């Protein structure tokens, strides 16, 4: 038995094996249009979990499951007492979801473990590959519930009691599929955490960049707004005597769009739902309800946007003679990722000579909650036409391999490697 030095810089994943794993997993819940329907804690989710656990154990990992059903597959480190490096994502999908949202981050992390095994590399710290429960929030609301419990955002009892439309709770569903684990949820130190994910937008593809170095996640504020005027006859009511609630809503929609553009490139402003009443073709609408949401990675800009939209709503209501009400129903603070994790991702992309750009996550991810309890970073790869939460969601094998290689080297930077490895 001899010892020889590890050339860490030359390590790489097996892209063909990663792609084959993705294709195999995509058959669990496959839809006729090429997507995946694998709702959280269904029998299909159980099957995906079982396959992951099988693969993880074949890779030499020990598996544990916590009380929210989060799965942790540990590759042992040289120091068993050292805090682990955590990496992974989720396996559940939207009802008409794609083949890569979430699961790419899980199987990319598993491929990191397999690649380290292939090279005979031992890390100083353990590596935990995680599968988070119910990230999508499609069957059980809210989204990211299990990582939220892990991070102390939600109490365990709250998480287990969340129910689907039929009244089945998360706790009951976990028992039904056999993933009601006994491990405590969270409470153990994590040295660093990384989540690999498809971008779910078109920024990287348009910029012709392969890797997104995610610097943080957008803060979000959601509002429900009601404007109330007077129902009136469309033919007999002169324009200057109308109190048209829908006109007020239209002006707010236009203002919201302009507000988002004013704070480009990171701002988002969206009206996603609108209901006019009485919804009759020859009646001036006397009431209009609509939702509005704003997003930005800086709290100060969010506050500025909030003040602007409230002032504009009041002005429009005064101009049109409308009563108005606005209720903020959700406030999600911006999430800055850890500088050391951002740098590890950026350095990995540079080392691998991959085109890359800093990017802010417009969507929520489990990493955004994990960032509350551990230094955290994210890696994005492009998805074709920016399409996600859609059966047509697609990536290329080359992108998948590149992102997993960046993850491999970021994890190595945080986990550390021994100076040599044993060989016969």
Q: What is the pLDDT of residue 65?
A: 98
pLDDT tens-digit readout, 38-55? 999 999 999 999 999 999
Q: Where are the alpha helices (DSSP H) in 89-242?
A: 103-119, 145-150, 156-161, 170-177, 203-207
CATH topology of domain 219-332: Alpha-Beta Plaits (3.30.70)
Ordered mean pLDDT values, 10 residues apiece, the chain (424 residues)? 65 98 98 98 98 98 98 97 98 97 98 97 97 96 95 97 97 98 97 98 96 96 97 97 98 98 95 97 98 96 98 98 95 94 98 97 94 98 96 98 98 84 45
Burial 144-183, CB ≥16 within 10 A → b, else e: bbbbbbbbebbebeebbebebeeeebbbebbeebebbbee
- Tens digits of residue pLDDT in 184-238: 999 999 999 999 999 999 999 999 999 999 999 999 999 999 999 999 999 999 9
Residue whose tokens read 């036409």: 385
Q: Give 2-217+334-423's CATH code, choosing from 3.40.630.10, 3.20.20.70, 3.40.50.150, 3.40.50.720.
A: 3.40.630.10
Q: Are strands 232-233 and 274-277 parallel, antiparallel or unpaired?
A: unpaired
Measure the CA–CA gap between 93 and 103, rounded to whole angstroms.
9
Return the pLDDT at 4.
55
* C-alpha span between 54 and 171 (Å, rounded): 23
The domain locations on the chain are 2-217+334-423, 219-332
What is the dihedral angle through the alpha carbons of 136, 142, 147, 148, rounded to the nearest 10 degrees? 160
Gyration radius of the chain over CA positions: 24
For residues 126, 191, 334, 207, the Cα torsion angle rounded to the nearest 10 degrees is -60
pLDDT at 2: 45
Report d(CA 388, CA 100) in Å as an integer.
9
Q: In terms of Cα–Cα distance, which of 75, 53, 48 is closest to 65? A: 53
């Amino acid at each position: 038995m001899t010892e020889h030095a590890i050339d860490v810089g030359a390590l790489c994943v097996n892209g063909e094996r990663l792609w084959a794993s993705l294709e195999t997993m995509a058959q669990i819940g496959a839809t006729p249009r090429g997507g995946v329907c694998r709702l959280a804690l269904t029998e299909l989710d159980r099957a995906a979990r079982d396959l992951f656990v099988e693969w993880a154990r074949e890779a030499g990992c020990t598996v544990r499951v916590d009380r929210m059903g989060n799965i942790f597959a540990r590759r042992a480190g040289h120091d068993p007492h050292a805090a682990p490096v955590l990496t992974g994502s989720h396996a559940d999908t939207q009802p008409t979801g794609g083949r890569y949202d979430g699961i790419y981050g899980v199987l990319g992390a598993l491929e990191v473990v397999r690649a380290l095994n292939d090279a005979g590399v031992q890390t100083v710290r353990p590596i935990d590959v995680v599968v988070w429960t119910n990230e999508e929030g499609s069957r059980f609301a809210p989204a990211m519930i299990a990582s939220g419990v892990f991070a102390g955002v939600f109490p365990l009892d709250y998480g287990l009691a969340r129910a689907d439309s039929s009244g089945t709770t998360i706790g009951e569903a976990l028992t039904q599929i056999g993933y009601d684990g006994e491990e405590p949820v969270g409470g153990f130190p994590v040295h660093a955490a990384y989540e690999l994910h498809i971008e779910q937008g078109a920024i990287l593809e348009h910029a012709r960049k392969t890797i997104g170095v995610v610097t943080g996640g957008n803060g979000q504020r959601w509002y429900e707004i009601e404007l109330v005027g007077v129902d009136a006859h469309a033919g007999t009511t002169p324009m200057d005597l109308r109190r048209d609630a829908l006109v007020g809503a239209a002006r707010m929609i236009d203002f919201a769009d302009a507000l988002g553009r004013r704070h480009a490139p990171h701002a988002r402003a969206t009206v996603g739902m609108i209901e006019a009443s009485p919804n009759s073709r020859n009646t001036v609408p006397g009431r209009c309800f609509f939702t509005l949401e704003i997003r930005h990675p800086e709290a100060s800009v969010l506050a500025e946007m909030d003040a602007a939209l409230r002032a504009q709503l009041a002005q429009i209501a005064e101009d049109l003679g409308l009563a108005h009400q606005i209720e903020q129903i959700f406030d999600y603070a911006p999430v800055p990722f850890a500088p050391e994790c951002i740098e590890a991702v950026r350095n990995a992309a540079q080392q691998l000579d991959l085109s890359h750009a800093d990017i802010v996550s417009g969507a929520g991810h489990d990493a955004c909650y994990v960032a509350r309890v551990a230094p955290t970073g994210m890696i994005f790869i492009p998805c074709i036409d920016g399409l996600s939460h859609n059966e047509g969601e697609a990536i290329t094998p080359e992108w998948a391999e590149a992102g997993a290689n960046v993850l491999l080297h970021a994890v190595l930077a945080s986990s550390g490697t021994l100076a040599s490895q044993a060989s016969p």
